[in-house]
Amino acid sequence: MNNRHLETGNGSRRVTVREGASHVLLDDVAKQIIEQLQEDGRRPYATIGKAVGLSEAAVRQRVQRLLDAGVMQIVAVTDPLQLGFPRQAMIGLRTDGDLETVADRLAGFEEIDYVVITAGSFDLLAEVVCRNDAHLLEILQKLRAVEGVLATEAFVYLKLRKQTYSWGTA
């Protein structure tokens, strides 16, 4: 898998773009390690090792290989509400011109945490986390000013019913 790294305008944030992602074949032990970490990303390697039948060192090496290959990331998942960002929205964008270029431009916005190229009535979807409605409006105005963006439509989140990162290791 090839990763491109984009620097945002102020250079303080690095964005990773996955290109040509292909299915990685994982053995059963790798899948078990991933499942252990999905349950608790801070679980000690020794505990994981006991669960999967490996030594702590072997688990450490396997986890590092999974990280290096881009199969997984270990991150702190935060609650935007608890951090003072009560407004979230998914923004559908219709574009003109080179779709990849527009997607890369959007990926550089600090307020956008998720950008995907889609099929359907929108060319791109971008998820934003905002301080308030005025901040959302400011972001929408910035997005509409991006070269290649023809139209935006915001879908404001009213209540989150499910968010999971444990979709398995099929």
What whole-number percentage of the chain has pLDDT above 70? Answer: 83
Q: Does residue 59 or residue 167 have the better pLDDT?
A: 59
**Domain boundaries of the chain, sorted by first residue:** 21-69, 80-156
The answer, yes or no, to whether residue 84 has pLDDT greater than 80, is no
Cα gap 117→133, rounded to integer Å: 25
Read off the pLDDT of each residue in 8-36 and give the average, rounded to a whole number.
65
32 pLDDT exceeds 50? yes
How far apart CA 56 and CA 47 sit, in angstroms, is: 8
Q: What is the pLDDT of residue 5?
A: 46
Q: Which two tokens stand for residue 161?
A: 């019913």
CB neighbours (10 Å) of residue 54?
Answer: 18
Fold agreement (21-69, 80-156): no
Looking at the domain that runs over 80-156, which CATH code has it been given? 3.30.70.920
How would residue 21 be classed by pLDDT, with cut points 50, 70 and 90?
low
- Higher-pLDDT residue of 42, 159: 42
pTM of the model: 0.70
Q: 24: Cβ–Cβ under 8 A, 6 or more apart, which residues?
A: 1, 69, 71
pLDDT at 86: 81
Query: In Å, how far from its chain's centre is CA 22?
Result: 17
Burial of 9 (0-12, 13-18, 19+ CB in 10 A): exposed
State the average pLDDT over residues 60-67. Answer: 94
Q: Which of 94, 146, 149 is nearest to 121 (CA)?
A: 94
pLDDT of residue 23: 62
Nearest to 128 by CA among 80, 160, 161: 80
State whether CATH 1.10.10.10 applies to domain 21-69. yes
Burial bucket for residue 59 (CB in 10 Å: 0-12, 13-18, 19+):
buried
| Closest residue by Cα to residue 169 from 66, 46, 20, 57 | 66
For 108-125, what is the mean pLDDT? 95
pLDDT at 34 over 50: yes
Mean pLDDT along residues 45-71: 94
Backbone angles phi, psi at 126, to 5 degrees: -135, 130
pLDDT category at 95 given cuts 50, 70, 90 is: very high
Q: Taking 90 as the threshold, does the pLDDT of residue 7 lie above it?
A: no
**Long-range contacts for 21-28 (Cβ within 8 Å, ≥24 apart)?**
21/70, 24/69, 24/71, 26/71, 26/169
